[in-house]
Amino acid sequence: MEKPIKLTISVSEVAEMVGVSTGTIYTMARENQLPHVRVRGRILFYRDNIEKWLRGELQTAVNS
């Protein structure tokens, strides 16, 4: 049985993808430089939005 694809990823996973520290990711999210959502106080990222952002296809933060 295949493992389901995670729709959201954590700050540490984004930091690893981008190649920066988790502190930098928190700062970028706070300044709306990265598309993110808050769920019960946690900052989460939709994997597809981060991949688009990395490719330059998503220019502005999409905050839900």
Residue with tokens 């990395």: 54
- What pLDDT is stored for residue 60 in this prediction? 57
Looking at the domain assignment, is residue 16 inside a domain? Answer: yes
- Say whether pLDDT at 61 is over 90: no
Looking at the domain assignment, is residue 22 inside a domain? Answer: yes
Q: Confidence class of residue 58 from pLDDT cuts 50, 70 and 90?
A: confident
Q: How far apart are CA 20 and CA 3, in angstroms?
A: 27
Domain that holds residue 25: 8-55
Looking at the domain assignment, is residue 45 inside a domain? Answer: yes
How far apart, in Å, are the Cα atoms of 21 and each of 16, 27, 51, 54?
Answer: 8, 10, 18, 16
Strand order in the sheet with 42-46: 8-9, 42-46, 37-39
Looking at the domain assignment, is residue 3 inside a domain? Answer: no
Looking at the domain assignment, is residue 51 inside a domain? Answer: yes
Q: Confidence class of residue 64 from pLDDT cuts 50, 70 and 90?
A: very low
Residue 63 and residue 37 in contact, taking contact as beta carbons nearer than 8 Å: yes
